[in-house]
Amino acid sequence: MGGVAWKKLFLEEIRELAKQIAITKLSPRAMEIDQHRSFPWENIRTLGEAGFHGIGISGNSGGIGFGRVCFSSVVKELAQACASTALVYVSHSIVAKALELSGSEGVKKKWLPEKTRDRSLPATRSNHGS
């Protein structure tokens, strides 16, 4: 089996993991998040614990480096379960990618590890309203 076929197989496994997390963890919380217009803290934490925060960031920058196709497959599964969580996840990922591509070395060292590890949360703080 060639490299492309292996990559496709691995992509399918990641997509399936995202689907299972979306169905079992995110979907049950979606209605409450939307009804209360609340931030999906627990869902974002769940994604981090599963290793999804660094999916689009290169390995050299502390991420996993799976690329855009994998990232979009994950986002599709998340959005089907909880659109609010998917939007926050995408926003988080955009910030991480911008840091990777445009941040100074000091900024990258300070923030990229936080954006790619399981304890990472979006670039906001619950007590700051941003």
Kindly write down the DSSP assignment for every residue of 58-99, as one continuous string. -GGGTS----HHHHHHHHHHHHHH-HHHHHHHHHHHHHHHHH
In terms of pLDDT, which residue wins out, 8 or 50?
A: 50
User: What is the average pLDDT score of the chain?
Assistant: 84
Would you say residue 124 has pLDDT above 60?
A: no
pLDDT by residue (tens digit) across 18-64?
999 999 999 999 999 999 999 999 999 999 888 898 888 888 888 88
Residues 6+ apart with CB under 8 A from 63: 54, 55, 56, 57, 96, 100, 112, 116
Residues 6+ apart with CB under 8 A from 1: 9
Domains of the chain by start residue, with CATH: 3-116 (1.10.540.10)
Residue count of the chain, please give it: 130
Task: Indicate the pTM of the whole model.
Answer: 0.81
Q: Considering all CA atoms of the chain, what is the largest pairwise distance in Å, rounded to the nearest integer?
A: 51
